[in-house]
Amino acid sequence: MKRFGFHILTLVLTLAGCIENDIPYPIVVCSVESIAAEGLSGDPQIDVAERKVTLPLEETTDIQAVEITACKITDEAESSTQIVGIHDLTSPLYVTLSVYQDYPWTIEAQQTITRSFTVEGQVGATEWDTANRTSKVYVGFEDMTKVKITSLKLGPRDSTRMSAADIPDFNDSNLHLLSDFTSPRRVDVTCHGRTEEWYLSVEYTDVKVTFASISPWTHSAWLRADGLSGTKLGFRYRKEGDETWIEVPEEELTIEGGSFSAQLRGLEPETRYEAVACSNDDLSTVESFTTEKALPLPNGGFEEWSKPGKVVYPYLSEDQAFWDSGNKGAATAGMTICDGMAYPRPGSAGQYCAYLESTLASVAGIGKFAAGNIFVGTYAKTDGTNGIINFGRPFATHPIALRGWVKYTQGQIDKIGTVPTGTDLKVGDMDQGSIFIALGTWSPEEYGNASPYPEVNKWEQSPVQVCTKDQSTFFKKDGKDVVGYGELILNETVGEWRQFTIKIEWRDTGTVPTHMMIVCSGSRWGDYFTGSTKSRMWLDDFELIYDYADL
């Protein structure tokens, strides 16, 4: 004891001798907390991690004169630019917020203007080059002096005036006056007091019907083709080797001008099919495609557990691992936040379920809130009191839903670390559980550099790396490389085992994902070290659904 006391005294004296008068400034992170503007089509999106504000504009809003009416930033922070006011947001507005340190922010606008240019006898979809203000359609006839326009909209609705220099009476209600397309035609589009020149072209093609794309899934396939507008458009398909063609019912077709599409359902996995596109009696070439595998979800029943040392793992051996948890990090405080429990859901063929327990992981009173969790991926490293997690496993197929069983005890929030922007969480609020599934085309080169540790920077198996001390690395469900997503939020106690089905919203039906992640947490805001130490979750018998008949 005397030696220990001596060392403490020496340390105190040493530190006292090192004290200087230069007191460092405290770190005050500056953020845009709320913002309002005229002419928005929805709520502004504030991304604290990226330090970016996105304003969704109505089609009729003048993007060169967007009026920001209110903006709340961190208390005592100063802005390098006056945010409230009228701004040209054709390019982003760059702002630096500061108290003691500088934090660069970006305010940008997103605006979608629906345009149309279609003609009678059109083949396929209209081609657009909005940067150069050109549009082109193809037709199945050669006389370009008698083209009949069926729709023309080149600017925002209700606020655009069109004119043609060589046709004095041409306007929105006199489209028939613009009929000679032996060469590209110029149309002047005036909106918000400014005029743009557009050039419209019509060209002949001898192709009457052709496939644009075929995207096979496990029990279905997405067919897209271009044909002659005004004709009977459709698809026929059959299993390779069969003699009889199956015609897709008319009510299952989506037709836009000369473009048409359909989703075939009820197909068999890993099977080769043939399809043709039809435009009246004209047929495309026969195209072949093979449906995907119905890949199972490894250890979906949560039956495989091991404890080679002090840490519990949701797998038998590391070389067979698919799932992982935050147990490695919690083990530094002698805690287990995910374990197998001999409490399967009623009717289960297994003996175990996954049990998630949110807690305070601390050593000598120093620590952080740890949400009970289990996820597809791997826990890479503990960095101080923070974790580095690599999410995802290779998974190149298209499930349509995640089904499973859950039981949940909802606790009151008693630990607050930080909170996501736009929320006002406080002690006493109710915690929430969450389960989400995401499929995407993530690469370790872009998503695997959240930490300075070379040994965990680039993992091909689990490419999406998150470091809990850096919110800019947090997974974003609307990220550019997310192609499928679904989630379940538990905002009440589920006292008995309950089956759930999370349907996956596919944002791009033609892209094949490279990886899949599933993340389950007893405390939804665990990444922010916020939640309840009383929240508990039980999970069992997860499976992927591929066939719409099984929903």
Question: Which one of 1.25.40.340, 3.80.30.20, 3.20.20.70, 2.60.40.2340 gives the CATH number of domain 32-111?
Answer: 2.60.40.2340
For the chain, percent of residues with pLDDT exceeding 90 = 75
Residue 16 has pLDDT above 90, yes or no: no
CATH class of 116-204: mainly beta
Mean of the per-residue pLDDT values of the chain: 90
Residue type, 9: L
Q: Which of 140-154, 249-263, 382-396 has the lowest mean pLDDT?
A: 382-396
Which whole number is the average pLDDT over 7-14?
32
Q: What pLDDT shows up at residue 20?
A: 44
User: Of how many residues is the chain composed?
Assistant: 551
Per cent of the chain over pLDDT 70 is 92
| Token pair belonging to 382 | 């503990």
Q: Average the pLDDT over each of 34-48, 81-95, 331-345, 464-478 and give the range with the smallest value.
A: 464-478
Q: Do domains 32-111 and 210-290 have the same CATH topology?
A: yes
Residues 27-67: pLDDT tens digits?
A: 788 999 999 999 999 999 998 878 999 999 999 999 999 99
- Parallel, antiparallel, or unpaired for β 116-119 and 52-57? unpaired
| Residues 153-177 pLDDT 10s | 999 987 778 887 778 778 778 888 9
* 42 class by beta-carbon count within 10 Å (0-12 exposed, 13-18 middle, 19+ buried): exposed
Residue 459 pLDDT class (50, 70, 90 cuts): low
- Residue with the larger pLDDT of the pair 380 and 251: 251
Domain 210-290 has CATH 2.60.40.10: yes
Tell me which of 509 and 5 has the higher pLDDT. 509
* Range 60-83 average pLDDT: 95
Contact (CB, 8 A) for 410 and 432 = yes
Instruction: Say what the pLDDT of residue 22 is.
Output: 53
CA of 166: how far to CAs of 7, 137, 161, 265, 465, in Å? 94, 21, 16, 51, 59
Specify the range with the lowest mean pLDDT, choosing from 243-252, 393-402, 442-451, 496-505: 442-451
Write down the domain spans for the chain.
32-111, 116-204, 210-290, 318-550
Confidence tier at 88 by pLDDT (50, 70, 90): very high
C-alpha atoms less than 13 angstroms from C-alpha of 143 in its C-beta half-sphere:
6
CB atoms within 10 A of CB 34: 14
Token pair in block for residue 186:
């110029």
Domain 318-550 = CATH 3.30.360.10: no
Q: Is the pLDDT of residue 19 over 50?
A: no
User: How many other C-beta atoms lie within 10 A of the C-beta of residue 75?
Assistant: 9
Find the mean pLDDT for residues 354-366.
79
User: What is the predicted pLDDT for the residue at 18?
Assistant: 41
Question: Which tokens hold the place of 340?
Answer: 């197998």
The residue-averaged pLDDT of 458-470 equals 82
State the pLDDT confidence band at 1, using cuts at 50, 70 and 90.
Answer: very low
SS3 call for 101: coil
